[in-house]
Amino acid sequence: EAQVTQNPRYLITVTGKKLTVTCSQNMNHEYMSWYRQDPGLGLRQIYYSMNVEVTDKGDVPEGYKVSRKEKRNFPLILESPSPNQTSLYFCASARQGAGYEQYFGPGTRLTVT
Amino acid sequence: QKEVEQNSGPLSVPEGAIASLNCTYSDRVSQSFFWYRQYSGKSPELIMSIYSNGDKEDGRFTAQLNKASQYVSLLIRDSQPSDSATYLCAVNYRNDYKLSFGAGTTVTVRA
């Protein structure tokens, strides 16, 4: 089954404790992206990657890091999480030339206390 | 500032009626337009994409694009309770992969 997977799906952590949210896709998509969704603010892009070893900032990159060492994986790293990073996070992927249609993972609900 | 605006909800329609959702965007060079459906607590699901002026129909869904007026709409015919969700309009601005999303319109279909 073609899909984007994320882990963990739910995470409660404390301020300052480094964490990684994994994202993997099995569709051989070149493009991957991370979004956060907050009430009243909608979906906002954090980082994106056009291909392996190619990443760039989105609209709200502060406090986040990413890496793209393999085509299928695009982890999101929070080096020192803060309460304002409490949010619902989505990973998405798209195939190059496919009309830029993005497909989303199931989401990770992160709470930072 | 590139913006995507959707008509504010919530939108309540009776079962079997047509739900009409509107979206306007601010950049004339926008190329690709998408409608996503998002159930509460779930991820956005792509339901329609449209790239050229006119109508595109897929089952009970019809997307309409008017680039001159910078709007895109989604019609849901014969609305069902399962259509109750938030609908997100997304616009691709630079003919690349970056999408800008509207805030969404919540639709409730009452039986």
Which residue type occupies B17? A
State mean pLDDT over A59-80.
Answer: 97
Name which residue leads in pLDDT, A50 or A97. A50
Nearest to A107 among B43, B88, B101 (CB): B43
> Which whole-number Å values give the CA distances from A12 to A15, A29, A82, B12, B30, in the listed order?
10, 30, 12, 35, 39
Give contacts of A25 with chain B, Cβ < 8 Å. none
Closest CA of chain B from A29, distance in Å:
12
| Per-residue confidence in pLDDT tens, chain B, 111 aa | 568 999 878 999 999 999 999 999 987 777 889 999 999 999 999 999 999 999 999 999 999 999 999 999 999 999 999 999 999 999 987 666 778 899 999 999 998
Nearest CA in chain B to A41: B103
Written as six digits, the tokens of B17 are: 């009626």
Give contacts of A104 with chain B, Cβ < 8 Å. 36, 43-45
Nearest CA in chain B to A57: B98
Judge whether B72 and B89 are in contact, CB under 8 Å.
yes
Q: What confidence category does residue A46 fall into, taking pLDDT thresholds of 50, 70 and 90? A: very high
